Amino acid sequence: MKITILGNNSALPAYGRYPTAQVIDIMDQLFLMDCGEGAQMRMQQFKVKSNRINHIFISHAHGDHYLGLVGFISSLSLLGREKELHLYCPKEIKEIVELQLPWDLGFAMIFHLLEEGKRETLLDEEKWQVKCFPVYHSVPTHGFIFIEKKRKRILIPNQLQQYEIPKYFYAKLCEGEDYIDKFGDIVKNDWVTQQGHPDKIYVFAADTRYAPEIIEDISGADLFYHETTYTAENSEKAKMRFHSTAGQAADIAKQGLVKKLIIGHFSSKYKNLQAFLDEAIPVFEHTELAMEGQTFEI
């Protein structure tokens, strides 16, 4: 599972930093998380195979999270895409996209509207799952949980021999099935297999005020993105605008027992970003800046 940062700035682009957009790669299936202005240019720059994106998630209807969407969809159409494209977004985004792209694109756009305040499983495929949860911003906003499933159990060779399990059944054992032998006796799955690797989990918490309400949602994430529009000296501004400081993001990460925190959505006030790390790391050690062009691997 790989997360590539396309944009890490807040609303006003600054110092070459672009607004929010990320690409999540789960076994070559790409997911686009937010699509700020210029996201498609960044994809080209960072050699993201944009036609592999089948699912786009828009956290909320603020321009710096969606203004690259119409251009990106147009480009997919110009590139001859035929495969359907799924958009998970607030209702405002559907209206905005449909107003600007009323013609036949050559592929179906399928909108899945996110309901304010709702926790939901949006996608549940064999190898991956995507869920959403509410975060607390000035407009209805969702965070997203991307899960690479690692459910397959691992065979225990000695036990397989002992219970004389035929090879053709090994795949089913990995899926968790019990085996019934020729005498009708049950060989319990966990006698011959052991637990596989745990799922890989990336949580994107979008734009939000300091919100302990989300701790359960982010709990145990391998990688956790939290916005840090400001540092503590602007904490009043953060509060007023439903944004967070670096210290607050780190505190949420710590409470959520995540493995690693990445921070972004930096205000244009900040040219140098070191202050964000200086504030976050004493609270939560495993913090990194979500720099554009950088790929985080789980």
For residue 242, the Cα-to-chain-centroid distance in whole angstroms is 21
In the complex, minimum distance from the CB of residue 12 to its own copies, in angstroms, rounded to a whole number: 5
Listed residue (268, 260, 262) closest to 288, CA to CA: 262
In the complex, minimum distance from the CB of residue 95 to its own copies, in angstroms, rounded to a whole number: 7
Q: Among the options 25, 64, 207, 217, which is catalytic?
A: 64
Nearer to its own copies (CB atom), residue 64 or residue 207: 64
Nearer to its own copies (CB atom), residue 97 or residue 261: 97
Opening angle at CA 164, ends 162 and 167, nearest 5:
125
In the complex, minimum distance from the CB of residue 101 to its own copies, in angstroms, rounded to a whole number: 8
Q: What is the CA radius of gyration of the chain?
A: 22
Nearer to its own copies (CB atom), residue 13 or residue 196: 13
In the complex, minimum distance from the CB of residue 202 to its own copies, in angstroms, rounded to a whole number: 27
What residues make contact with its own copies under the rule CB under 8 A?
Answer: 11-14, 16, 18-19, 37-38, 40-41, 44-45, 63-64, 67-68, 70-71, 74-75, 78-79, 95-96, 99-100
**Active-site annotation holds for 199:** no
For residue 218, the Cα-to-chain-centroid distance in whole angstroms is 11
Q: How many other CB atoms sit within 10 Å of the CB of residue 286? A: 16
The residue ranges of DSSP E strands in the chain, in sequence order, are 2-7, 21-26, 29-35, 53-57, 85-89, 109-113, 120-124, 128-136, 140-148, 154-155, 179-180, 186-187, 193-194, 200-204, 223-227, 261-264, 287-289, 295-297
Residue positions annotated with a catalytic role: 64
